[in-house]
Amino acid sequence: MIRVCAQTWDELYAGMFMVDVEGWSMTIFNDCDELNYCETCLSIDGRRWSFDSGDRYGTDPLALLSMWEHQTLERLLKAL
């Protein structure tokens, strides 16, 4: 995982945080130092997922993570 944005997780505090994970570009919303939702995911081959407020609950990729996975991802993002 590589941070793509200029600011660290702590410096941003609230806003969009961009990372690259094995070729996937992800934009994640940092809500007051908490991992909130995924705004977009884009793969190398052009597959794309984008947040839409009209989507059914649970379609956000972060909503599919277990509590342990969510906490681990948040810890990794804070360490970048």
At 28-46, the pLDDT tens digits run 999 999 999 899 999 999 9
Would you say residue 80 lies in a domain?
no
Q: Is residue 79, in this structure, part of any structural domain at all?
A: no
Give all strands (DSSP E) within 1-80, no chain letters.
Answer: 2-3, 15-21, 24-30, 35-42, 48-50
Q: Which domain holds residue 62?
A: 2-74
Cβ proximity of 14 and 30 under 8 Å: yes
Tell me if the pTM is above 0.85: no
Q: What is the pLDDT of residues 36-76, one digit of tens each?
A: 989 999 999 998 888 876 666 657 888 889 999 999 999 99
Residue 46 in domain: yes
Structural domain total, the chain: 1
